Amino acid sequence: MDVELVSIGNELLLGYTIDTNAAYFAREAAAQGIRVVRRATVGDGPEEIAAAVREALARTGAVITSGGLGPTADDLTKPSIAEIFGRGMTLDEGILEDLKQRWAKRGWPGELPAANRNQALIPAGAEIIRNDHGSAPGIWLEDEQGRWCAMLPGVPREFRGMAREQLIPRLVARRGEAVGLVVRSRTLRTTGIAESKLADEMGELAKDPLGTRLAYLPGWEGVDLRITVWNEPSDRAATLLDDAERAIREKVGAWMYGLDDDDLAVLMLQQLRARGLKIAVAESCTGGMLGMRLTAIPGSSDVVDGGTIAYANHVKVRELGVRDATLQAQGAVSEETAREMASGVRARFGVDVGVSITGVAGPGGGTPEKPVGTVCVAVDLRGELRSARTTMVGDRHEVRQRSTQAALNLLRRALAG
């Protein structure tokens, strides 16, 4: 099944916004055997929009638009596309009611502004594509020849959610059982090991293992190994991926923490919850990033009590009981300081696990002995202390991200015993 994408918005044409929706859709769709064969980007002008959609309909008859469904005056997508299908615009009472309720919920003064009412106007005979992530619903418009145009909002959170939950399932169902070949990928997530070291450890498997295609995807979470099978029947694709994963695990399983979208923070929360352990964090250079990561997970409150952001040294001493002697002798960025921070926050919050991070995030503050990127992490698991020191690459933000991952990886090893 071939489709075309039309991304709408002057801000895209002007280059102020990078179009990540199109790439997201292409990847998600490919996994279902739906191929994006052409993409176009046009401005907010009704003629531009109509021209691009008309051309795409003539080519593939299957068009997905992104953007131009907002409440403000510069959003003209729906009427210009309705015209192509020879449809007028009608007010959808259901949408209007929903918009009114959302407005009321926000607790802003006054009635729903006229601008928002535009969002309730839809082409005659159109179907609504549900939007569980925002106020602007999507539109499905189709003619007698089966040519269709699906209009989604451009806000990434809304576009992605609707593509994943509504549009792609609809296209898969529409395609029916007939077609068979799929493209399937699986990602093996590693951390705490360099890309080149990983390749060495994998030996023979380092290049396209067992008939799959292998991509190394290094990032702040670690190095992801993505294996992909192209155009195979889905059962055969699954077997190829299973065999390749098993072979790779035998080589580098020790550094693997999960698959696909697995998040190390989520996995750690699950393990802590399963064991009935409570956790608190002590953060210096990350300034709250580890706490933020852990509490980003719904339901984390039954495991995470909180923590101390000990950015200034006197806070490390006063709030966490780090000894002045340690700061003098070892420095704020040292495994010993990290260990005292972990034990200190565990004692102060009266929890089972204390996790700490202290480091030189940069760009300033580096020394020959402790260059920018030097980070020490520690874990106190019911009095059992572990610590590690590494040197991270990347800018300030990336060093901080990598630091939270290093702390969670040390926790992973501590819980594994």
Please, which of residues 232-261 interact with its own copies by CB under 8 A?
Answer: none
47 vs 384, beta carbon nearer its own copies: 47
Spatial contact of 380 and 395, defined as CB atoms under 8 Å apart: no
Give CA angle at 81 (89, 67), nearest 5°. 105
Spatial contact of 76 and 50, defined as CB atoms under 8 Å apart: no
Touching its own copies, residues 290-309 (CB under 8 A) = 290-292, 294-296, 298-301, 304-309
What would the DSSP string read from start to end of 276-300?
Answer: T--EEEEESTTTTHHHHHHHTSTTG
Give yes or no for residue 210 binding its own copies (CB under 8 A): no
Q: Of 18-26, 141-149, 233-241, 249-257, which part binds its own copies (CB under 8 A)?
A: 18-26
Touching its own copies, residues 96-135 (CB under 8 A) = 102, 105-108, 113, 115-116, 133-135
Whole-angstrom distance, CA of residue 334 vs CA of residue 327: 8
Nearest to 149 by CA among 216, 232, 65, 241: 65
Burial (CB count <10 Å: 0-12, 13-18, 19+), residue 123 = buried
Minimum distance of its own copies from residue 316's CB (angstroms): 9
Q: Of 120-128, 139-147, 207-215, 265-273, which part binds its own copies (CB under 8 A)?
A: 207-215
Touching its own copies, residues 72-101 (CB under 8 A) = 72-74
Minimum distance of its own copies from residue 210's CB (angstroms): 16
Give yes or no for residue 203 binding its own copies (CB under 8 A): no
23 vs 91, beta carbon nearer its own copies: 23
Give yes or no for residue 367 binding its own copies (CB under 8 A): no
Among 3, 8, 34, 48, binds its own copies (CB under 8 A): 48
Touching its own copies, residues 398-417 (CB under 8 A) = 398, 400
Whole-angstrom distance, CA of residue 313 vs CA of residue 331: 10
Whole-angstrom distance, CA of residue 93 vs CA of residue 374: 59
Give yes or no for residue 60 binding its own copies (CB under 8 A): no
Give yes or no for residue 207 binding its own copies (CB under 8 A): yes
- Rounded to 10 deg, the angle between the 313-320 and 335-349 helix axes is 40
Minimum distance of its own copies from residue 4's CB (angstroms): 10
125: tokens are 């005979």
User: SS3 string of 170-229?
Assistant: HHHHHHCCCCCEEEEEEEEEECCCCHHHHHHHHHHHHCCHHHCEEEEEEECCEEEEEEEE
Amino acid letter for position 62: A
179 vs 393, beta carbon nearer its own copies: 393
* Cross-strand partners of 415: none
Give yes or no for residue 162 binding its own copies (CB under 8 A): no
| Per-residue contact string for residues 272-291; x = within reach of its own copies by CB under 8 A | ---------x-x-xxxxxxx
Whole-angstrom distance, CA of residue 32 vs CA of residue 316: 52
**E strands, 48-152, in order:** 62-66, 89-91, 121-123, 127-129, 138-142, 148-152
Among 231, 250, 371, 413, binds its own copies (CB under 8 A): 371
Among 239, 254, 395, 413, binds its own copies (CB under 8 A): 395
Touching its own copies, residues 323-342 (CB under 8 A) = none
Preceding amide of 79 cis, omega within 30: no
Give yes or no for residue 364 binding its own copies (CB under 8 A): yes
Give yes or no for residue 388 binding its own copies (CB under 8 A): no
Among 3, 8, 22, 50, binds its own copies (CB under 8 A): 22
Nearest to 269 by CA among 281, 278, 260: 278
Among 34, 40, 141, 269, binds its own copies (CB under 8 A): 40
> How are strands ordered across the β-sheet holding 279-283?
279-283, 353-359, 374-381, 384-391
Minimum distance of its own copies from residue 23's CB (angstroms): 4
Among 89, 128, 168, 199, binds its own copies (CB under 8 A): 199
Minimum distance of its own copies from residue 101's CB (angstroms): 11
Give yes or no for residue 321 binding its own copies (CB under 8 A): no
57 vs 87, beta carbon nearer its own copies: 57
Task: List phi, psi (to 5°) of 245.
Answer: -60, -45
Q: Of 16-24, 83-91, 240-248, 336-344, which part binds its own copies (CB under 8 A)?
A: 16-24
